[in-house]
């Protein structure tokens, strides 16, 4: 029996294939990630090879736009399932295709197209794309219990010139491909390259550790994250010790500014200096009276006057006016 929400928030159902192709009811515990090896939303041969969802890169607005083709707990059709062996599409698997490529040979250009500008190379995706992928996995974990774990090995699709003589091929019978037993016991997130009875190598060398860290709530700077304003920085600093109160909302103090708060800080510093100056003056006065034979009252009066004179002097420097006249 399917439980939990069956539609991914914000996903369009304009390419809905469940009505035509049905599918088995499941309780998903595995998420398989694919790449379309194309740009835009595929037709999937009339839906006969469609996943549950497709994420299309909106490069201009730096976001993934989602299209849903089957319910989350309904088997889709993007994996090969041979006779005998194990089940693939129907083994509690939710599948998502991400448009773009995992092909290492297209890591910079794809014909006239430029990676990062016109399409995504998923071996090195932009931060915003990985963030949106992570948001999807976080949602699956929170609403369907799909564990945020997966294989350590995510092989490059195609030769890697950085490793001469070594061709880490994710396609075919690669070391990343799971055995039947491993697949049947697996729960978590994997790629098409890990599924038995299949030969596809997508999504290639996806930065999986970083992806899972984001899905678990880690933060990272991204190109659209704004720099903090001076007032935001000041609020963060000024409230650390709770000494200088900063309004929590503009309505509390609409005139609060960084410059006014800096002035307050400088006043506090000068007050500390005043105390230090007064103590120094008092000590100096005491030292001058040692052995002079004056009585206790005279010493106390002299010290009090030294402290008062020092505080008044610093107060004039801070406020611009003699504090005795305020």
Mean pLDDT by 10 residues, the chain (326 residues): 90 97 97 98 97 98 98 98 96 98 96 98 98 98 98 86 61 91 98 96 96 87 50 50 47 53 68 73 66 62 67 50 36
Q: In a 3-state reduction of DSSP, which class is residue 271? A: helix
User: How far apart, in whole angstroms, are the C-alpha atoms of residue 203 and residue 249?
Assistant: 46
In this prediction, residue 183 carries a pLDDT of 98
**How far is it, in rounded angstroms, from Cα 231 to Cα 259?**
9
For 297, the token pair is 């009252």
CATH class of 18-215: alpha beta
Sequence-distant (6+) residues with CB within 8 A of 110 are 101, 118, 119
21: its two tokens? 């192709």
Q: Where are the domains of the chain?
A: 18-215, 230-325
* pLDDT tens profile 257-305: 555 556 666 677 777 777 777 777 766 666 666 555 656 666 667 667 7
**Per-residue model confidence (pLDDT) at position 162:** 54
3-state secondary structure of 269: helix
pLDDT of residue 221: 45
- Residue 193: the pLDDT is 96
Buried b (16+ CB within 10 A) or exposed e, 132-153: bbbebbbbbbebbebbbebbeb
Q: What percent of the chain has pLDDT over 70?
A: 68
Model pTM score: 0.67
CA separation for the pair 169, 196 (Å, rounded) = 15
- Assess contact for 31 and 146: CB atoms under 8 A: yes
Q: 95 near 111, Cβ under 8 Å?
A: no
Query: Each residue of 50-97: pLDDT tens digit?
Result: 999 999 999 999 999 999 999 999 999 999 999 999 999 999 999 999
């Amino acid at each position: 029996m399917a439980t939990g929400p069956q539609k991914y928030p914000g996903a369009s159902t304009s390419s809905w294939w469940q009505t035509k192709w049905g599918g088995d009811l499941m309780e998903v515990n595995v998420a398989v990630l694919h790449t379309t090896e194309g740009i835009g939303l595929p037709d999937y041969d009339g839906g006969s090879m469609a996943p549950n969802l497709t994420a299309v890169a909106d490069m201009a607005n730096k976001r993934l736009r989602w299209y849903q083709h089957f319910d989350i707990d309904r088997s889709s059709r993007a994996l090969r399932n041979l006779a005998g062996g194990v089940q693939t599409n129907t083994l509690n698997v939710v599948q998502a295709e991400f448009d773009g490529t995992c092909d290492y040979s297209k890591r910079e250009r794809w014909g006239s197209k430029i990676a990062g500008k016109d399409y995504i190379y998923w071996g090195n995706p932009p931060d915003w794309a990985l963030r949106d992928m992570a948001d999807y996995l976080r949602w699956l974990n929170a609403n369907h219990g799909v564990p945020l774990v997966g294989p350590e090995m995510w092989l490059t699709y195609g030769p890697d010139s950085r490793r001469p003589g070594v061709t880490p091929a994710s396609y075919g019978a690669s070391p990343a491909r799971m055995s039947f037993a491993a697949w049947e016991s697996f729960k978590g997130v994997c790629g098409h390259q890990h599924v038995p009875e299949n030969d596809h190598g997508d999504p290639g060398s996806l930065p999986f550790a970083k992806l899972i860290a984001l899905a678990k709530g880690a933060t990272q700077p991204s190109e659209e994250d704004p720099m903090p304003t001076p007032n935001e920085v000041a609020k963060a600093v000024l409230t650390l010790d709770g000494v200088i109160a900063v309004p929590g909302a503009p309505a509390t103090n609409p005139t609060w500014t960084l410059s006014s708060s800096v002035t307050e800080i400088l006043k506090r510093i000068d007050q500390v200096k005043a105390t230090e100056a007064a103590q120094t003056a008092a000590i100096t006065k005491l030292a001058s009276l040692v052995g002079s034979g004056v009585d206790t009252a005279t010493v106390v009066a002299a010290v009090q006057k030294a402290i008062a004179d020092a505080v008044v002097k610093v107060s004039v420097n801070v406020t611009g006016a003699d504090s005795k006249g305020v």
